[in-house]
């Protein structure tokens, strides 16, 4: 009687699938822990910190282009009220200080406009008053008289200060007046740099798996777009303007995303991209292919 040595393919296939399943279910190396059992692996920078780094890099590049020399004093005014404006302001201050340029922080553009509107309306009649041409002419005349009175008082105060200073042997004050304001609301003789955050956000570029059975990872990218314009002292014209766009990115674990986002800042909570069907199907196809190869190997053995 002849006994065949050929093995049945079904047990061989089951053996191969069991080995593959054991390989898939085997956990990876655990993170290092201290004596108290706490995980010592440090988290990557948060989305807010990554966005702040991108803003700092954009601020350095932007300030390097400003046509100003060392030892000057400029006024720094923001345009907008975003939550990232405080971080950008500090980044601009650091960049200007590195260039040895002194910055004077001014009120934001909106606040300055509101203050100017309030000052202009303080000496006028209510809006419900007469609206005829005669009433408007009277209001304008009254406003001009008030302006002339204030100017006369200022001149008298300046003369009195000059006389006191001269009696004490000091030099008289300049005729221009050091505390005067220019047309754009800033102190006279001070150029103004107005900055604006055009765009600042964090994006999740893609979701992928490191290796065939590795952990899911997220590629994130922080983008900051800043604009800056220079207004000469005593003028409303723009003498120079520029904008800079900077992006920084890295890769983090998907399980860390919830700890890296800031729930109070929507720009740091982007939409997580979903894995496509192809990305889900690829590991399954690989498993079937490996199982088929193992089955053919055992079938063809003598």
pLDDT in tens, 142-196: 656 666 777 787 788 777 777 777 766 655 555 444 444 554 555 667 899 999 9
Topology of the domain comprising 44-117+139-272: Double Stranded RNA Binding Domain (3.30.160)
pLDDT digits (tens, 9 = 90+) for 40-88: 668 899 999 999 999 999 999 999 999 988 888 999 999 877 777 888 9
- For residue 295, pLDDT beyond 80: no
36 pLDDT higher than 70: no
Q: What percent of the chain has pLDDT over 70?
A: 61
Q: Which residues contact 34 (CB under 8 A, 6 or more apart)?
A: 40
Give pLDDT, residue 270.
Answer: 93
**Which tokens is 60 given?**
């350095």
> For position 178, what pLDDT does the model report?
43
Backbone angles phi, psi at 158, to 5 degrees: -65, -40
Burial classification of residue 66, based on how many CB atoms lie within 10 Å of its CB (0-12 exposed, 13-18 middle, 19 or more buried)? middle
Q: What is the pLDDT of residue 176?
A: 44
**Span 222-236, mean pLDDT?**
91
Q: How many CB atoms lie within 10 A of CB 196?
A: 18
pLDDT averaged over every residue in the chain? 75
Structure confidence at residue 8 (pLDDT)? 53
Q: Tens of pLDDT along 203-222?
A: 999 998 877 667 889 999 99
Listed in sequence order, the residues at least 6 apart from 189 whose beta carbon sits closer than 8 Å to its beta carbon are 182, 233, 234
């Amino acid at each position: 009687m002849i006994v065949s040595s050929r093995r049945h393919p079904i047990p061989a296939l089951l053996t191969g699938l069991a080995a593959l399943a054991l390989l898939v279910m085997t956990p990876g190396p655990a993170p290092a822990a201290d004596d108290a059992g706490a995980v010592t692996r440090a988290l990557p920078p948060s989305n807010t910190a990554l966005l702040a780094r991108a803003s700092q890099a954009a601020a350095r590049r932007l300030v390097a282009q400003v046509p100003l020399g060392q030892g000057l004093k400029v006024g720094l005014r923001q345009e907008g009220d975003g939550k990232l404006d405080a971080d950008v302001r500090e980044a601009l201050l650091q960049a200007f200080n590195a260039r040895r340029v002194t910055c004077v922080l001014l009120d934001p553009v909106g606040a300055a406009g509101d203050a100017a509107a309030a000052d202009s309306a303080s000496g006028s009649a209510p809006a419900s008053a007469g609206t005829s041409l005669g009433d408007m002419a009277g209001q304008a005349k009254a406003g001009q008289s008030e302006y002339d009175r204030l100017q006369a008082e200022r001149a008298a105060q300046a003369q009195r200060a000059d006389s006191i200073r001269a009696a004490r042997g000091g030099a008289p004050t300049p005729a221009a007046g050091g505390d005067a304001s220019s047309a754009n609301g800033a102190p006279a003789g001070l150029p103004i740099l107005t900055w604006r955050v055009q765009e600042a956000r964090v994006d999740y570029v893609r979701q992928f798996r490191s290796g065939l059975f590795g952990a899911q990872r997220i590629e994130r990218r922080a983008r900051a777009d800043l604009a800056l314009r220079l207004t000469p002292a005593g003028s409303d014209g723009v003498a120079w303007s520029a904008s800079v766009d900077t992006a920084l990115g890295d890769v983090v674990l998907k399980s860390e995303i919830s700890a890296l986002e800031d729930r109070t800042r929507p720009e740091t909570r982007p939409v997580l991209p979903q894995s496509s069907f192809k990305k889900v199907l690829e590991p399954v196809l690989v498993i079937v292919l490996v199982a088929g190869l193992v089955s053919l190997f055992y079938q063809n053995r003598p």
